[in-house]
Each structure stands twice: as C-alpha cells, then as structure tokens.
Amino acid sequence: MREGPDIARIASLVGDPARANMLNALMGGTALTASELALEAGVSLPTASSHLSKLMEGGLLTLASQGRHRYYGLASAQVAGMIEAIIGVAEAVGPKRVRPGPRDAAMRVARVCYDHLAGEQAVAMLDRLFDRKLLLREDNQIRLSSAGVSHFSALGIETHVKARRPVCRACLDWSVRRSHLAGTLGAAILDKIIAERWARREKDSRAVVFSPTGRQAFERVFLS
C-alpha cells in the first residue's frame, strides 16, 4: 500500500483546474508573476497565491524575486515532461474536441515545450538527427556522437557545457506520440531558431510559427 514516492500528492497538485491552468501557462517557458497567473487561471489573487505556495511546497515551481516582483517558473524540465505526458493522455482520452482550430493546428506543427521545440517539426528533426548519426540511441538515453559535436559546434551551438542537466533527453510529444529532443541541446536549438528569426512565438500561446524563408533554413539545417 503506502510505499514509494507519493505520486498522489504530485498528481493532486496538478489535479486542480486553477493550478493546472497555471502550470499550462508556465509550459511556455517564461516565468510569470502571481497576478498574471491569477488572470490565466481565472481566480482571484489570494486564491492564486494559495495555489502557488502549494505548488512551491510540492517542488513543482521555482521562485525568482526581482524587486517587488516575484516570478514563478517550472522547477525543472522533468516537471515539464510530466505535464506534457499528462496533456498527452488528456488529448488521447478526450476525443470530444471535434474542431481542432487553426491555432491547435499550429500547435501541432511546432510549439514551445518549456525551453525546447515540440510538435511535428521537432519529432521530424530528432528522426533526422538519428538518421545522420549525429545523435545515437543508447538504451533509453540519447548520446551525442563526435560527428554531432562538431556539427552543432559549426552551427554555433556548444555542447561541451558542464551542467547537471543532460545535453540530450527524449521528451514525449503529445500530438505525435513520439519523442522529440529536450535537454540543453534541445534548448539551444530553440534559442537558435528564435535568434535567427526563422520563427516567432505566437502571442499568448505556445505555438511557434515559421516564416517561409525560416522554414527553408530550418529544413536545410536540421531536416536535410
């Protein structure tokens, strides 16, 4: 019976609609203030504050104080991955959504997942990186090949960073139901896509929209 990690505690934190909305809003990767999150969740400020302290105590959020502003963000990419997994199940079992609007379609193609790219484009990219032997599957992990190191280095992405966070990690995609690339490399690639202005983020959405020329550039570099 009572054994192992307290999974019910974590799940019940996500299980409240107000908190779920907050976490969903934070999946965009940018930290938000309590007021913004209250608005996002549709609750009053005191209520939001109460929820935020619970999420903090549960270890799902981090807090950065800047002056009189307090920015809340997801605690880790692992937490983001868990939320993606829950979203995936919710999508799968809730086929009641008859009309996948244009915004949903855009989300399906490419979107931000915490700090890296997700969606069809991201899944295709990971496939190609495997095909080109720039990344290698090892057990259930992903490893950079030496060819991959020099390849990304040529793109201005340094992969030798010493960090506790893994360089490569697989993250399950809820729309495609296959893995895309997370980890510091996944984050760096998203950074490059935005920095090169290949794509821009939709306002108030996790969707990522490529420009025509940007898409060509992205395909040339990562999908060729």
Partner DNA sequence: GGAATGCTTCGATGAGGATCGAACCATGCG
Partner DNA sequence: CGCATGGTTCGATCCTCATCGAAGCATTCC
Q: Which residues bind DNA (CB under 7 A)?
A: 12, 16-18, 33-35, 43-54, 67-70, 163-164
In the bound state with a second copy, the residue whose beta carbon lies nearer, of 85 and 161, is 85
Q: What share of the chain is helix, strand, coil (3-state, %, to 5)?
A: 50, 20, 30
Nearer to DNA, 64 or 105 (CB): 64
Spatial distance between the Cα atoms of 147 and 121, rounded to a whole number of angstroms: 22
How far, in Å, CA of 152 to CA of 75, rounded?
A: 27
Residue 156 binding target from DNA, a second copy, none, CB below 5 to 8 Å by type = none
Q: Choose between 13 and 144: whose C-beta lies nearer to a second copy.
A: 13
**Residue of the chain from 6, 30, 44, 191 that contacts a second copy (CB under 8 A):** 6
Residues 42-61 that bind a second copy (CB under 8 A): 42, 58-60
Look at the block and give the residue holding tokens 């060729």: 224
Partner whose binding site includes residue 64, from DNA, a second copy, none (CB under 5 to 8 Å by kind):
none
Asked if 92 is part of the footprint of a second copy (rule: CB under 8 A), the reply reads: yes
Give the number of residues written for the chain. Answer: 224
d(CA 212, CA 81) in angstroms, rounded, equals 30
Helix (H) or strand (E) run with residue 170 in it: strand 169-172
Q: From 39-47, 135-143, 156-164, 211-219, give the range in contact with a second copy by CB under 8 A.
A: 39-47
